[in-house]
Amino acid sequence: MRREGSPFSGLSTVAMKEAADHMTSPRMHLVMLLVLLTAFGSIYAAIGEIKNTLSEDQFLFLRLFTTAREPLPSFVAFLGFLLPLVAIALGFDAINGEYNRRTMSRILSQPIYRDALLAGKFVGGLLVIGICLLTLWLLMTGMGILMLGLPPSGEEIMRGLAFLIASLAYAGVWLAISMLFSTLFRAPATSALAGLTLWLVFTIFWSMIGPLVAGAIAPVDPFDPTTAVHQAEIAHAIARLSPNTLFGEATLALLNPATRALGLIFVNQLQGALIGAPLPFDQSILLIWPQFSGLIAAMLLVYTIAYVVFQRQEIRA
Amino acid sequence: MSAPVIEAAGLTKHYGRSVAVEGLDLVVNKGEIFGLLGPNGSGKTTTILLLLGLTEPDGGSVRVLGHDPLREPLEVKRRVGYLPDAVGFYDSMSAWENLRYTMRLAGISSAEERIASALARVRLTEVADRRVSTFSRGMRQRLGIADLLAKGSELAILDEPTSGLDPQSTQELLDLIVQLAGEGMTIVLSSHLLSMVQAICSRVALFHRGRVGLVGRVADLASQVLGGSYIIEVEAEGCDTAKIVADVPQITRMTVVASDVTRVDAEIDIRPEIASRIVAAGGRLKRLSMDRSSLDEVYVRYFEQVDHAA
């Protein structure tokens, strides 16, 4: 049955309202404060480390993001850890909050489709994360210029922007996940806990689960070295189910131009390669293309599930 | 006579195995205040959601303002205003901002004037810039009405508009509803408090387990259902009313309502008989009243009959 009218009418209104709500909510302020503090801490530590080593490096600016000094991890590692938290904070009460405030039926009785409400909330959340990431990146770059005393090169800016887009896709996956939980669970506390649980599983336990499962699927035969390779490949494939792994690999290749391969590589494949020589920007992009597509696909898949669940929900009760 | 505002035929909706609405037929005309009355869980809210296209029927057809809410939901929702049961607003936004948001969703730009006049209409102008979280239940309900006014709804569907309100707010809200109807807005309201809305409804439909038992004007329903039965309330002091009138042959039932008040059900009007007996017994007759148009009475009686028949 065809319905008349555009499913997108009202989308931008919802998105702008959601973005404005997020920008003014104390929840968002707290999370951003946390992100800013860790960002400054890690950048400050990175600058100290870079000044100490005084090595020659073509991509000194990118080192800002990836250099770590004990006990602090690098900025990128922090971001991989904290971005899901930001996304969960933005999305965990997106849908069930409307039911609990009893605004759902009133909003849906306006001339918009449910599509616009869900998509608007997603776009609004993504917009806020995008603005925050951009601000953060500009702040980091400014700090770098001030403290290192040199401007970033064109390629470094390109790589930085590509890194921003990858981060946005990564945050989008988590935003979709938290919105899915907010559609599935009626209580915001339950949906927040479900989101945090999944976050912990992927950030902490996934690196243990992968090899374990791979060991069970493909045991290593000590007399056949190819079985070891097989097991490592399976472990890698399982690890890549986690958006965190995909994001980690993408940022590694983007911010460390010397990265020439992600995953297993044989010595004969490295024949003739100049170890440590940076790849051109387009080659790095090519390298992370599967990871990037994976993130986008995961985002769309999870969003679609949330969409179907939401469309089938009864408005009452 | 213009085409009906709402036309429903054989509307059916199941939730799993339980039946929410079964074979509902309904016609509401322009300018009416139509009451959907019935106890909680009798299918009133489901009917409203079906009219708005917010839930899909399992069978039957609906037309609202000449459109099918299932196929053209945007057109229907543009012209119909809905005030849900215990309406919610965004607490962190002011009354004004809440209305402006719904105006934008409705695709109405430059709505400042409409919002201002709607807020003035429901006497919320002074608190327009206050956060909705500080509003009382009655104020929220009035803000909901302002929402419908600003949107310029031709048909307003109000779900339990008076539930949880104090008597004064209830009266204010009912007065407002009558005013709106006087200006040509068609109003459909649902309630489980029959006596309260009977005063303002031009026609009512009585719901019972997902079916409409009766439709019509309150007075007509009363004579139709109560038919040959007369309910008389007697208030008398200094005598035992129940004992004195017990042997009147036309009496079908007698209940003591309060210490001096007795309710007598009879086949004919036996008020003169009761009066003379009480006086003869030396009692002091204080009140002798007969009420034949209470909806509560109609409702209870009707479904007693239905249940007996079943």
Q: How far is A87 from chain B (nearest CA, A)?
A: 21
> Domain coordinates of chain B in residue numbers?
6-90+136-216, 224-309
* Residue B163 burial (10 A CB sphere; 0-12, 13-18, 19+): middle
Mean pLDDT of B115-131: 93
Does the domain at B224-309 match CATH 3.30.70.100? Answer given as yes
Given an 8 Å threshold on Cβ–Cβ distance, is A315 in contact with B144? no
Q: B99, B105, B153: best mutation site toward chain A, by most A Cβ within 10 Å?
A: B105
Mean pLDDT of A255-264: 83
Instruction: Specify the fold of B6-90+136-216.
Output: Rossmann fold (3.40.50)
CA distances in angstroms from B51 to A17, B142, B216, B218, listed in the order given: 28, 23, 20, 23
**What residues in chain B have their Cβ under 8 A from chain A's Cβ atoms?**
15, 45-46, 49, 52, 54-55, 70-75, 77-78, 80-84, 86-92, 101-102, 104-107, 144, 147
pTM assigned to the model: 0.87
Mean pLDDT of A267-282: 80
CB < 8 Å to B106, chain A: 110-111
Mean pLDDT of A36-53: 84
pLDDT of residue B299: 77
pLDDT of residue A55: 64
Give yes or no for residue A145 having a pLDDT over 80.
yes
Mean pLDDT of A220-225: 86
pLDDT in tens, A50-91: 877 766 677 888 888 888 877 778 888 888 989 999 999 999
Q: How far is A291 from chain B (nearest CA, A)?
A: 38
Contact B122, B149 (CB under 8 A): yes
ipTM, two decimals: 0.84
> Which residue does chain B place closest to A26, by CA atoms?
B92
